[in-house]
Structure 1
Amino acid sequence: MELQADVAIIGGGVGGVSAALAALRAGKRVVMTDPTRWLGGQLTSQLVPSDEHRYIEDDGANASYREFRNALRGYYRSHFPLTDAAKADPHLNPGHAWVSPISVDPRVIVNVIEELLQPYRSADRLVVLMQTEPVAVEVDGERVTSVTVRTTMGEDAGAEHVVAAPYFLDATELGDLLALGGIEHVSGRESQEMTGEPGAWPTADPTDMQGVSWCFAIDHLDGEDHTIDRPADYEYWRDLKPHQLDGRNILSMGNDLDAHGQPVRADGTPGKRWSLSPNLDDDVIDLDHRNMGAWNELWNYRRIAARRQFRPGFYRSDVVVVNWPMNDYVGGPLFGMPDAAHHWDQAKALSRSLLYWLQTDAPRPDGGTGWPGLRLRADVAGTADGFAMYPYIRESRRLQALHTIVEQEVSTTYRGEGGAERYPDSVGVGHYFWIDRHHTTGDGRGKGGLPHPFEIPLRSMIPVRVRNLLPACKNLGTTQITNGCYRLHPVEWNIGEAAGALASYCLDNGTEPHAVVESPGAVSDFQQHLTDRGVQLRWDENKRW
């Protein structure tokens, strides 16, 4: 079956949803696909509460993202029995988590996304194909002509659709259209010669990628035993010491302690140590990650339901998402290798053994081991096995764009107090506490550093060759290093909105992205179009990391 659209969005994650809203609100007909049963990507099917920056409540977000965040808080105020204090809190954080200022149940996010999209479904301007993945991309010269997608699960498993549109947005988590269409891209780590980045490795390796995490949600019911069956491969994971971790067991509470009781790595440099205190009360949350010390509490790290935010007795336990250092899988990449499917399986296997370890062998502060009362919350994940529908992807294929953002343009190490590069063609802003580079599947972890509040240049979203495909996820023109701050939730939202708005702008004005970016007048006109939409293009010149 062939489906026609003005804008075809392959991938329904954070960027895909934002792109769809931008195109739909511009009057366009949209076809969108997603490989899971939930739209929202990182926020929902991957179970990752939003990673945001310290200015987010007042600055550094598009109007549409603020609308989304307000809708999440409004949903809780309308439907949940919050305490009076929580309900009145303008910065309500249902999970009272320190990783995110708005940490919520993924099912609430799914409902809010559906509410945002429902008017366009009703008007027959939006078609969404769930549990559907791209399998082929047809390219004629410098233009994508169609994308064939296949439903992988459910009653329609095996059904295929050919999606045709003037513009295609790659909002897939792994940059799938880039590979299927032979569109110029990179993956893994680049070399210093390729990017000119001081922090890059001397050699490139397209298979050396940041690890993924297969997340899951748990609560804790004291006095009950919810221990899962011992995984057949548990001993392997329990004893594993990946070389990327410098001799530390992956299933551990962090680095060993020195004579002064401080965590240190094997090379003597300061390390990290984690604690776990199920259902701790009266914990003080500091959302400023700059204040993170050497000891971190995991229970309130990515907590998505804090009992004390709700009327007494409503929740039997807090609910937390396990996206912790122990389930960062570094065994191999999820694409680009013949054994990629094996690594999909192994990433989930690590998380399964992590859960069992937490229930049985993990060291407790009282000297005992394990918390058998930890209960896997399959309902939160929306899956039969209790684990997220999709692994948390930190790094995908990256577009070879007209401009590649390098660390010298954003890093405080190289920018000093001058702030990040200001681009004449900015189409959005972003920020995060770190250039966050997790351990990788190859040589470990390169330099990251700290980013100043930064901008998204339009040129980083324009392919070097193909004329009608745009990135709408974490697949724009970054390097492996700068991906570490351009991949977070609000930045991905802004990338998606810029992509959906640009495709619509080109359709309305009879032009194309390359022509826009090559004309200062057209760039200025498009920027005004974005500003009218509520897109933030610049930071206050005084804002710094």
Structure 2
Amino acid sequence: MRTDEKVDLLIAGGGLGGCAAAMAACSRGLKVIMTEETDWIGGQVTSQGVPPDEHRWIEEFGCTRRYRDYRDKVRETYRNNLNPREQKEQLNPGNGLVSNICHDPRVTLHVLNEMLLPHLLTGRLQILRSTRVVSVKKEGNKLQTMTLLNVAAGTKKDVDARYYIDATEAGDILPLAGMNYVTGAESKEETGEPHAVEKADPSDIQAFTYVLGMEYREGEDHTIPEPNMYSFWRDFHPEIWPDKLLSFFAPHPITKEKRKYTLIREEEGFPLWEYRRIFDGSQFDLDSGSGEVTLMNWPQNDYFLGNVYDVPEEEKGRNLYQGKQLSLSLLYWLQTEAPRPDGGKGYPGLKLRKDLFETEDGLAKAPYIRESRRIKAEYTVVEQDVSPDFNGGPAGRKFADRVGIGSYSIDLHPSMAGRNYLDIKALPFYIPMGALIPKDADNLLAGCKNIGTTHITNGCFRLHPVEWNIGEACGTLAAFCIERDVKPKEVRKDQALVEMFQQELKEDGFELEWPFES
């Protein structure tokens, strides 16, 4: 087969995991190509518009040094380009409720490009935007070649790499390489998880969401044209929902009871506006009259009527379109029909900020996909590894081959099989190396949400700092294996190599211990 280029490492996917993998691998001298389907790197925090979901200790510990540098650079960007009224060490640009660092997706785009720039300037890294993998040649357990398609130009190139990382949002390399993988929910018999379903259901996949950004300008009218599917979504009342989807009521994620939401903060109800607010102008001395800006990633625009992978292209296209129509319909409903506390209807001052994502329709460049295809891994993390019901200490199972730490509750959104939320406690956890290594490939690593978790544990492993840690560990492991001419499985099986690798991780700023563990 013709080969256009040879590199040490090819990273498919330029999200947080892919970018972190590239930083780690390039810093160790590897020659790397990273692809990205959109024209923005950064994945869930940029092209998908989801501000960082993080744990309560994130300002002190619980992430890699590079992730902490990234967070510091986000704040530094605001300080350098705007004028904060107060010099807060922990500046939260949006004063959003979901994170201590709710911010504009374009800021992370700037920061990631800056962090990767040294590797671009030295020629160690190529970033191929608007590019995806369209075919994979695999012989036995070894991936040989990937064919890349530049979607904008319509050109293809074949790349050979010594190692590959699948950091795509949906584990796209797995079917292309003919590998074994899992989708949806495993059965209780398979995993022994208390909250698993009785019968495995590959279609039991969490909703995806098309995010949009909006600014509120009181007294102005920015009503968008009525979306094509507005009448459908306005009247849609899912069986698992306590009211119409386009309403200020939804199931409480934990109790499933009817929960009241509000747009702007009221005496009762959860304030959606503040939830993922990314710009609070009152914190800055500004010449312009900029309003507050928030991102719409709410219960009301979770799309769970169909999936976007492992389905025919026509069905994928239909679900992407309907997901976009749902988000636009929610905005139109808010502008025209949403009940206000004063008895009126609608907030026409809500302005769709098309500039946030640089898209014609104002929606994020890509849907936020919560649940990916998942590798059949050397080790699969199950509920028992992270549940307080199965672990007596302050943290979950402490794997001997751990390559990082993370923390989040098990948070599953409504699924395409008609199941409701599952939101249960999880202890601070450890990331096992075995979860990054597929059983049926020797030179491929999982660098995103496609690692060896179950449907349930995906709910706590899919968040920003964990994805970053996973990707960064994969980039480091690929370099470690190339330097020593060993395979990832061989590293994991040799405790001396595991400890050598862990020492290198710690020297590079990885945290492998929770400080409160005795």
TM over 0.5: yes
Q: Does 1:251 align with 2:250?
A: no
1:387 aligned onto 2:363:
yes
**For 1:6 and 1:175, how far apart are their aligned partners in 2?**
21
Residue 98 of structure 1 is matched in structure 2 by 97
- After TM superposition, the structure 1 stretch with the greater mean CA deviation from structure 2, 61-70 or 312-321, is 312-321
Which of 459, 479, 484 lines up with 1:509 in the alignment?
A: 484
The answer to whether the 8 Å contact 2:48/2:210 transfers is yes
Deviation at 1:417, TM superposition (A): 4.7
Contact (CA 8 Å) 2:395, 2:514: kept in 1 or not? no
| Shift, 1:231, TM fit | 1.4
Report 1:382-421 matches (<5 A).
Answer: 382-417=358-393, 419-421=395-397
Q: Distance in 1 between matches of 2:109 and 2:506?
A: 28
The structure 2 residue matched to 1:519, chosen from 491, 494, 502, is 494
1:272 equivalent in alignment to 2:259: yes
State the partner residue of 2:81.
79
Residue 71 of structure 1: how far off its partner (Å): 0.8
Contact conserved, 2:413 with 2:422, CA < 8 A, in 1? no
What code does the residue aligned with 2:143 have?
V
Q: Secondary structure at the match of 2:440?
A: coil
Instruction: Kindly indicate whether residue 332 of structure 2 is the aligned counterpart of residue 356 of structure 1.
Output: yes
Which structure dedicates a bigger proportion of its chain to strand? 2
Equivalent residue letter for 2:472: E
Deviation at 1:123, TM superposition (A): 1.1
Q: 2:435 aligns with which of 460, 469, 472?
A: 460
Could you tell me which amino acid in structure 2 is paired with residue 525 of structure 1? Answer: M
Asked whether 1:232 is paired with 2:228, we answer yes
Given that 1:412 and 1:449 are in contact with CA atoms closer than 8 Å, whether structure 2 keeps it comes out as no
Instruction: Measure the CA separation in 2 of the matches of 1:419 and 1:112.
Output: 32
Query: Is contact 1:97–1:303 with CA below 8 Å preserved after alignment?
Result: yes
Alignment of 1:423-462 (within 5 A): 423-432=399-408, 434-445=409-420, 447-462=422-437
- Matches of 2:42 and 2:124, distance apart in 1: 19
Structure 2 counterpart of 1:488: 463
Output one character per residue of 1:307-337: Cα deviation in whole Å (capped at 9) or x when no partner. Answer: 1111155452011101011100010111122
Corresponding residue of 2:135:
136
- Residue type of the partner of 1:51? D
State the alpha-carbon separation in 1 of the partners of residues 340 and 132 from structure 2.
43
The one-letter code matched in structure 2 to 1:171 is A
| 1:416 shift after superposition | 5.0
Q: Could you tell me which residue of structure 1 aligns to residue 280 of structure 2?
A: 306
1:35 counterpart residue number: 37
1:44 to 32, 46, 50: 46
CA distance in 1 between partners of 2:171 and 2:180 (Å): 11
| TM-score of the superposed pair, with normalisation by structure 2 | 0.96
TM (normalized to structure 1)? 0.91
Structure 2: 5+ residue stretches without partners: none
Aligned amino acid, residue 246 of structure 2: L
Residue pairs, 1:333-344, within 5 angstroms: 333-338=307-312, 339-344=315-320
Q: Is 2:484 the partner of 1:531?
A: no
Q: Which ranges of 4 or more aligned residues in structure 1 deviate by more than 4 Å?
A: none
How much has 1:239 moved relative to structure 2? 0.5
1:244 and 1:522 map into 2 onto residues whose CA distance is: 49
CA positional deviation for 1:419: 2.8
1:205 matched to 2:201: yes
Q: Do the aligned residues in 2 keep the contact of 1:9 with 1:16 (CA within 8 Å)?
A: yes
Letter in 1 for 2:147: T
Which moves more between the two structures, 158-167 or 442-451? 442-451
Which whole-Å CA distance do the structure 2 matches of 1:27 and 1:493 have between them? 20
Preserved CA contact (<8 Å) 1:242 1:249: yes
Is the 2:256–2:421 contact (alpha carbons within 8 Å) kept by the matching residues of 1? no
CA contact (8 A) 2:83 2:286 kept: no
